[in-house]
Structure formats: C-alpha cells, structure tokens
C-alpha cells in the first residue's frame, strides 16, 4: 500500500513538473503579435508610414475660412437646400454659429502624429540615422503647418502691436495627452510656426520622391506665407526668393486644356506641398457660385477666365481651377509656386523695390495670359505696385484657403479694408473689417473638455 502511494505520488509529481516546465517556456510564446499589421512604431519605415498617411496629414485641413470668405455666393434656393445649419450659419457669419469639431480635431491630429514621430525618433535613437533627419524635418513641417491652419481660423490676424496679448491657439509639443491645453499668445503661436518650419527647412531634402511628402522648397514657401502674415516682409521675401531659387516652377496655362472638366492636375508642377481642405457642402461646384465682380475682373485674353471658371449656362460661374485635378468640394489649400511669386512681389513692393516687384508679378502673369498677348504691367511707385500685386493676388489665389487670412491681415491696413456682404433672399448680412467674428468660435466640446478660453463675441 505504501509503495502504491509512493508511485502515485511520483506520477502526480511528474505531471506537476510537466505543467511547470510548460509555464516557464511560455513567455516567448506570448510575445507573438496578435495582428501582423500592428506594430509599436520603432523603425524609420514605421514613422514614414505615419507621415505618409495622406488622409490624415495632407487632406484634412480646416475649410471654414473658405466658407466664410468672399470668393463665392449661394443662390437663395441653394441656401435653402443646404442640409446643415452649420453651413448656413457660417455663410451668414452667425455670431454664435456652431463649429463642426473636425475644424479643430483634424489639424490637431496632424500635430499629434508629428509629435509621435518626433518622440519615437528620439526614443529609438533614429534622429541621426540615415533617413532620420528627413523624417524629423517632415514632422516639424507638418506640425508648424497645422498650427498655422488652426491659427488662421481661430485667432485674430497677427498684429505686432498686440500679438503678445492676442489669444493664439494651444501649442501641443508632446504626444502625451495628459498635459492640459492652454491657449498661447498669438506671438507665441506664430513664432512656434516659424520655428517649426525653420527646423524643417534645415532638415528636409530639397525634393521629395513621394509627392505628398514635404520638402525644403515647401518649407521655404510656408515660411514666406507665415512671415508675410506676420508683416515681416524682409524675411518673407528672402524665403520666397529661396523657394524660387530652389527650383519652384510655374505652370504655363497655355499648355492646359480650358475645355477639360479639370484642367489643373493633382501634383502639378506648381504644387509645393500637397494640402487639401476638408470638403464642405457650400463648396460643391454646382452650388458654389463665383463672386460675379471677381469673375468680371479677368481680361478676355486671361487664360484663367476659361481655366478657372465654368459657365453654369445661366450667367453664373463655377470654379474648376482646383489644384487637385477634380471638381470637388475638397479644395487645394497648400503652398504653390504662384503664391510664392505673389508673396515675393508683395514683399518687394512693401520694401519699396518697385522694379523687382513688377518683374516677379510679370513673370507669373506671363504664364496666365494667352501666348503673345500679354503686355507686362508697370507701376509708377511702390504703392502702385502693391495695389497691382494685391489685385493679381485676389485673381490668382481664389478658393485656395488663403482669402480669409488675407482679408484678416489686409483689414489691419486702412488702404485695403473690405466689408463683406451676403444677400440671402433679400436679407443682407455684413461683416465689417476687424469684426470679432473673424475669429470663429472654438467648438464647444473643446471648451468643455479643456477649459481653454472661448473667443469673445
């Protein structure tokens, strides 16, 4: 009996031993990834894949500036047929109009992706590896560009006199979601944009092999844009010059087909950074009617008159000059060579260099007029040059996500102040220069979660 018990005990022990051994060898077994497509980002390939997410990084920038600007109007029946009250509110500049959260969330998603890439580069010691600086530069570019997009909608125009006191936007510089958001001053906001873009320019390669990726030329273009908005014409002009010197090319509109549904293709030669605004119902070509005075301002031999516009057959015109090769409510809003020429020309005019300004302007315009018909413009003074440059800027950069920011900054200058008007079935809405409504309301969800200050009304 005793012996039997002993053998029983032995058997039980053997089984127990087998079980224990199993438990020791199982740790490696449990390291296997549950989904092959999922990884913890640790290689340059992973980080590049995040930055190559076109839907997040390139095609999701705020569009409310365009919706509130004066490039277009809606007919009363189209206004009535709008399905979203938000679009109606925006169109009529309703003071307490609700803001769709994507206007805030989408650019900050770009900021998060950029911060995540910057942190993963550091944690994995990849910043200095081959290919690392380019990725780091791209992350800085995306972050700076996204901050600028948010500021353009939710902050006042950059006014050097008050920028320290004006409310900018929150500047999240880490991927950690725990720190509370705080609104930086407008000065801090714009300085952060400049600093990010400068770092980007220092790290990015001159050209991109993949068209959605930013490069040094794009960083120069974006710097010229932000510094122009800040009124630093000297620096803005220098970056614009660098951009043009680095090889930014112009499209000759004589080579485009005016009868095509979409004459200007995606990733065309002028696109320096591929950025698209979120689509809006008001921007559908079938609904969105080009401002009639603006349409009439084009000369008959101006190719833009047929390339940018399509007649609706009833005296109204639709815009088909989207730099994305599609007729869509999703509009190109990134830096392009034509914008850089206009930035450069404006800086020269403002710095008193009338000749340089007109040369730059004429170089651009030559590609916009029917070949052999263009008569170069000339200006008797720097101020006259500035007026010419701004007139051409209005005619070139429409539906490009730039008009709202231009209105804001030009309203600071008595010479260029504009009062906007909408007429909906006899009801007239106006937006005077410097109105508080130029800073749209921050979505209530953001205010309630973060406690940051709402824009005043």
Per CB under 8 A, the list member of 31, 125, 415, 426 interacting with other proteins is: 31
- H or E element, residue 349: helix 337-350
- Would you say 275 and 260 are in contact if contact means Cβ atoms under 8 Å apart? no
Q: Does 38 bind other proteins (CB under 8 A)?
A: yes
Choose the stretch contacting other proteins; rule: CB under 8 A; options: 35-43, 223-231, 382-390, 401-409. 35-43
Q: Does 101 bind other proteins (CB under 8 A)?
A: yes
Q: Which of 69, 213, 57 is nearest to 146 (CA)?
A: 57
- Would you say 440 and 99 are in contact if contact means Cβ atoms under 8 Å apart? yes
> Scanning residues 283 to 322, which ones bind other proteins (CB under 8 A)?
284-287, 310, 312-314, 318
Q: Does 266 bind other proteins (CB under 8 A)?
A: yes
Per CB under 8 A, the list member of 2, 3, 37, 296 interacting with other proteins is: 37
Site size toward other proteins, by CB under 8 A = 91
Q: Does 3 bind other proteins (CB under 8 A)?
A: no
> Scanning residues 59 to 78, which ones bind other proteins (CB under 8 A)?
75-78
Rounded to whole angstroms, the Cα distance separating 275 from 321 reads: 15
Per CB under 8 A, the list member of 17, 129, 202, 261 interacting with other proteins is: 261
Q: Does 212 bind other proteins (CB under 8 A)?
A: yes
Rounded to whole angstroms, the Cα distance separating 59 from 368 reads: 27
Per CB under 8 A, the list member of 144, 335, 401, 443 interacting with other proteins is: 443
Minimum CB–partner distance for residue 329 and other proteins (Å): 10
Q: Does 35 bind other proteins (CB under 8 A)?
A: yes
- Would you say 347 and 372 are in contact if contact means Cβ atoms under 8 Å apart? no
Residue with tokens 């006199």: 161
Q: What is the DSSP letter of 437?
A: G
Q: Does 85 bind other proteins (CB under 8 A)?
A: yes
163: which residues sit within 8 A by CB, 6+ positions away?
185, 186, 187, 190
Choose the stretch contacting other proteins; rule: CB under 8 A; options: 340-348, 351-359, 381-389, 446-454. 446-454
Q: Does 22 bind other proteins (CB under 8 A)?
A: yes
Q: Does 53 bind other proteins (CB under 8 A)?
A: yes
- Alpha-carbon distances, residue 397 vs 141, 190, 204, 219 (angstroms): 22, 22, 26, 19
């Amino acid at each position: 009996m005793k012996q039997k018990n002993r053998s029983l005990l032995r058997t039980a022990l053997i089984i127990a031993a087998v079980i224990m051994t199993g438990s020791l060898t199982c740790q490696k077994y449990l390291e296997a990834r549950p989904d092959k497509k999922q990884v913890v980002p640790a290689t340059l390939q992973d980080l590049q894949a995040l930055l190559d997410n076109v839907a997040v990084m390139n095609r999701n920038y705020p569009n409310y500036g365009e919706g509130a600007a004066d490039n277009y109007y809606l007919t009363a029946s189209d206004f009535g047929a709008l399905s979203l009250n938000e679009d109606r509110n925006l169109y009529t500049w309703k003071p307490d109009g609700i803001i769709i959260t994507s206007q805030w969330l989408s650019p900050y998603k770009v900021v998060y992706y950029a911060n995540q890439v910057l942190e993963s580069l550091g944690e994995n010691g990849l910043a200095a590896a081959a290919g690392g600086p380019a990725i780091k530069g791209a992350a800085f570019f995306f972050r700076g560009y996204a901050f600028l997009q948010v500021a353009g909608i939710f902050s006042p125009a950059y006014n050097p006199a008050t920028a320290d006191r004006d409310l900018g936007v929150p500047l999240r510089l880490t991927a950690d979601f725990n720190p509370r958001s705080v609104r930086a001053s407008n000065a801090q906001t714009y300085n952060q944009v400049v600093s990010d873009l400068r770092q980007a320019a220092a790290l990015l390669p001159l050209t991109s092999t993949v068209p959605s990726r930013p490069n040094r030329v794009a960083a120069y273009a974006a710097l010229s844009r932000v510094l122009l908005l800040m009124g630093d014409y000297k620096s803005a002009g220098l970056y614009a010059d660098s951009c043009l010197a680095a090889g930014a090319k112009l499209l000759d509109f004589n080579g485009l087909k005016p009868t095509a549904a979409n004459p200007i293709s995606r990733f065309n030669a002028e696109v320096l950074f591929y950025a698209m605004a979120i689509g809006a119902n008001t921007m559908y070509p079938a609904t969105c009617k080009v401002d009639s005075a603006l349409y009439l301002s084009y000369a008959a031999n101006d190719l833009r008159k047929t390339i940018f516009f399509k007649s609706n057959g009833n005296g109204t015109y639709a815009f088909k000059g989207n730099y994305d090769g599609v007729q869509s409510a999703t509009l190109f809003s990134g830096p392009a060579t034509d914008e850089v020429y206009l930035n450069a020309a404006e800086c020269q005019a403002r710095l008193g260099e009338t000749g340089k300004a007109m040369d730059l302007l004429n170089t651009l315009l030559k590609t916009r007029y029917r070949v052999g018909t263009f008569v170069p413009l000339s200006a008797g003074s720097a101020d006259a040059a500035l007026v010419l440059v701004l007139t051409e800027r209005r005619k070139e950069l429409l539906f490009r996500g730039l008009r709202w920011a231009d209105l804001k900054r030009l309203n600071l200058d008595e010479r260029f102040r504009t009062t906007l008007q909408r007429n909906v079935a006899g009801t007239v809405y106006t937006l005077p220069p410097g109105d508080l409504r130029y800073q749209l309301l921050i979505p209530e969800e953001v205010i309630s979660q973060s406690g940051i200050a709402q824009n005043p009304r």
